[in-house]
């Protein structure tokens, strides 16, 4: 499968949606740099839709963590969307799902933003993050 990254600003939400198709690996991970820089420059939150991403390796995970760090530096959030079993398992094994909200659908991710706001909450205000059992919300347990 060919690799493809597309970016769209979701109207009325101020959220940049970046959709990944194919394998997010050493050969393709650098393609997330440009949309991440766009979100950082615009100081807008980013939804990374991995629902069409068939495989992620350590380089792909590194690009996700880099995007999260860069957005955190400007006070913005990164949210992941995936229903892919391999991706969900990898996010769980690496505890990335502990740091980032992971949703099964784009609608769930979009609905989450008004509840917590697009900005990274202050450390003094932990109640502003919606947590489930001390974890960011996930749409479904891992298989």
The torsion angles phi and psi of 124, rounded to 5 degrees, stand at -75, -10
pLDDT for 10-49, tens place per residue? 988 889 999 999 999 999 999 999 999 999 999 999 999 9
Q: Which domains does the chain have, with CATH numbers?
A: 4-128 (3.30.750.24)
DSSP readout, 22-80? EEESTTTGGGGHHHHHHHHHHT--EEEEEEEEEEE-HHHHHHHHHHHHHHHHTTB-EEE
Residue-wise pLDDT for 58-116, tens only, equals 999 999 999 999 999 999 999 999 999 999 999 999 999 999 999 999 999 999 987 66
* pLDDT top residue among 73 and 141: 73
How many Cβ atoms from other residues are within 10 Å of residue 49's Cβ?
Answer: 21
DSSP state of 96: H
In this prediction, residue 2 has a pLDDT band, given cuts at 50, 70 and 90, of confident
Q: What is the pLDDT of residue 50?
A: 97
């Amino acid at each position: 499968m060919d690799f493809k990254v597309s970016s769209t600003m979701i109207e009325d939400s101020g959220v940049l949606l970046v959709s990944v198709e194919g394998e997010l690996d050493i050969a393709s991970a650098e393609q997330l740099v440009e949309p991440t820089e766009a979100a950082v420059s615009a100081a807008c939150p980013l939804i990374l839709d991995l629902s069409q991403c068939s495989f992620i390796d350590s380089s792909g995970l590194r690009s996700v963590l880099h995007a999260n760090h860069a957005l955190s530096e400007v006070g913005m959030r990164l949210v992941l969307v995936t229903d892919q079993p391999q991706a969900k398992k990898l996010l769980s094994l690496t505890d990335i799902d502990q740091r980032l909200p992971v949703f099964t659908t784009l609608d769930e991710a979009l609905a989450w933003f008004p509840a917590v706001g697009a900005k990274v909450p202050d450390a003094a205000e932990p109640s502003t993050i919606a947590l489930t059992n001390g974890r960011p919300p996930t749409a479904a347990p891992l298989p």
